[in-house]
Amino acid sequence: MAFSFLSSLLFVFAILLHSTSLVTEARSSVPPTPISHLVSEELFDSIFLHKDDSACPAKNFYTYESFITASKRFPGFGSSGSLSTRKREIAAFLAQISHETTGGWATAPDGPYAWGLCFKEEVSPQSDYCDSSNKEWPCYPGKTYKGRGPIQLSWNYNYGPAGKALGFDGLRNPDVVSNNSLIAFKTALWFWMTEQKPKPSCHNVMIGKYVPTQADIAANRTAGYGLVTNIINGGLECGIPNDSRVNDRIGYFKRYATLFNVDTGSNLDCAYQNSF
What is the number of alpha carbons within 13 Å of residue 10 lying toward its C-beta?
A: 6
Whether residue 183 contacts residue 162, with contact meaning beta carbons closer than 8 Å, is answered with no
What is the number of alpha carbons within 13 Å of residue 154 lying toward its C-beta?
A: 15
Active site residue 100: yes
Whether residue 188 contacts residue 150, with contact meaning beta carbons closer than 8 Å, is answered with yes
Backbone angles phi, psi at 55, to 5 degrees: -75, -15
DSSP three-state, residue 132 = coil
Which one of 41, 42, 100, 237 is the catalytic residue? 100
Alpha helices in 55-178 (DSSP H): 64-71, 83-100, 156-166
d(CA 239, CA 13): 64
Which amino acids are annotated catalytic?
Answer: 100
